[in-house]
A and B are shown apart, each in its own frame.
Chain A
Amino acid sequence: EIVLTQSPGTLSLSPGERATLSCRASQSVKSTYLAWYQQKPGQAPRLLIYGASSRATGIPDRFSGSGSGTDFTLTISRLEPEDFAVYYCQQYGTSPTWTFGQGTKVEIK
């Protein structure tokens, strides 16, 4: 079973700053099968990135994903007030199974 570890647990930044979120897998993950989600309080998660680097429909281009193998990154180039939320990575594995990271909270500094 692949374990996804996200870091940091909490990221304290100001609007306009750049956010870099990490997702590390315990085994290699096919880039096609790595996704990122945003979740705000009281809401269901929203798909941001799929295939490690493809933005979902309607997602602003300040969100970008990169990485391969065991190390993946979600970057928010300039934080907008609505970007403060919790972010999860997720991988699709054999069997098939779906696994989520534990989340990174991006909070206002």
Chain B
Amino acid sequence: QVQLQESGPGLVKPSETLSLTCAVSGYSISSGYFWGWIRQPPGKGLEWIGNIFHTGSIYYNPSLKSRLTISVDTSNNHFSLILRSVTAADTAVYYCARAAAYVDSWGQGTLVIVSS
């Protein structure tokens, strides 16, 4: 059974860069599926951030695209998120996920607070 685990700093200063990694176990990233990120601001709904396909094709939410980089490391079976120039509006629980047309596996989520 696939398992996903996010890791990264829980506190980032405004204007700096948010970096998260998702370690995948129980399934090889290079075998298939989209691998991506979804976030949820406190008390609010879910927002898709972006996905990377197992072939390396990348798809970003247009509203975040200019600040966003998603990459994959198949040798270590993990993928990463970089979000630049963060503001308080980027404060959220960040989930990594495995997806096809729907998300069938989620990480537990990691809270990232943007504050000085």
Contacts and interface: CB of A to CB of B under 8 A. Distances in A.
- Best-buried of A46, A88, A97, A99 by chain B (most CB within 10 Å): A97
A92 B102 contact: yes
A88 B107 CA distance: 17
Contacts of A1: 62
Interface of B: 34, 36, 38, 45-48, 51, 59, 61-62, 95, 99-104, 106-109
Contact of B51 (A56, A88, A90, A98): A98
B108 A44 contact: yes
Interface of A: 1, 32-33, 35, 37, 44-47, 50-51, 56, 88, 90, 92, 95-103
Task: Determine chain B's interface SS by DSSP, over half rule.
Answer: strand
Contacts of A50: 101-102, 104
Contact of B61 (A37, A45, A90, A97): A97
A44 B95 contact: yes
B45 A47 contact: no
Contacts of B62: 1
Nearest to A48: B102
Contacts of B101: 32-33, 35, 50-51, 92
Given A98-B51, A99-B48, A44 B104 contact: no
Given A44-B107, A44-B108, A97-B59, A102 B45 contact: yes
